[in-house]
């Protein structure tokens, strides 16, 4: 696919066709890098633990979350540096 470089404000950009984005499962965010004089565009992979807290709350695994958040111990008070 051949495309033109376009001026966008103080930057430049290209238009990537919907067919390519769909083929690569790219929705809204990409990672850019350069290797051997080539621009590499990759879909950003979701963070492994993103939304875990929300999912665990829905599964009721964190029903005692408030109790654990305020749990004090001697190590936290004397040994740990925040």
pLDDT per residue over 14-68, tens digit each? 999 999 999 988 888 899 999 999 999 988 877 777 777 777 777 776 666 665 5
For residue 19, the SS3 value is helix
For residue 58, the SS3 value is helix
Q: State the architecture of 6-43 in CATH terms.
A: Ribbon (2.10)
Enter the tokens of residue 9: 């404000």
Check whether 82 has a pLDDT greater than 70: no
pLDDT, residue 5, reads 95
Domain ranges across the chain: 6-43
For residue 2, the SS3 value is coil
Enter the tokens of residue 53: 């807290």
DSSP state, 28?
S
């Amino acid at each position: 696919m051949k495309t033109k470089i376009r001026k966008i404000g103080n930057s430049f950009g290209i238009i990537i066709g919907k067919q390519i984005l769909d083929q690569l499962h790219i929705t809204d965010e990409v990672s850019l890098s350069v290797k051997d004089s080539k621009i590499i565009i990759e879909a950003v992979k979701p963070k492994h633990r993103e939304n875990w807290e929300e999912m665990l709350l829905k599964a009721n695994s964190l029903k005692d979350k408030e109790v654990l958040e305020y749990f004090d111990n001697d190590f936290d008070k004397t040994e740990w540096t925040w």
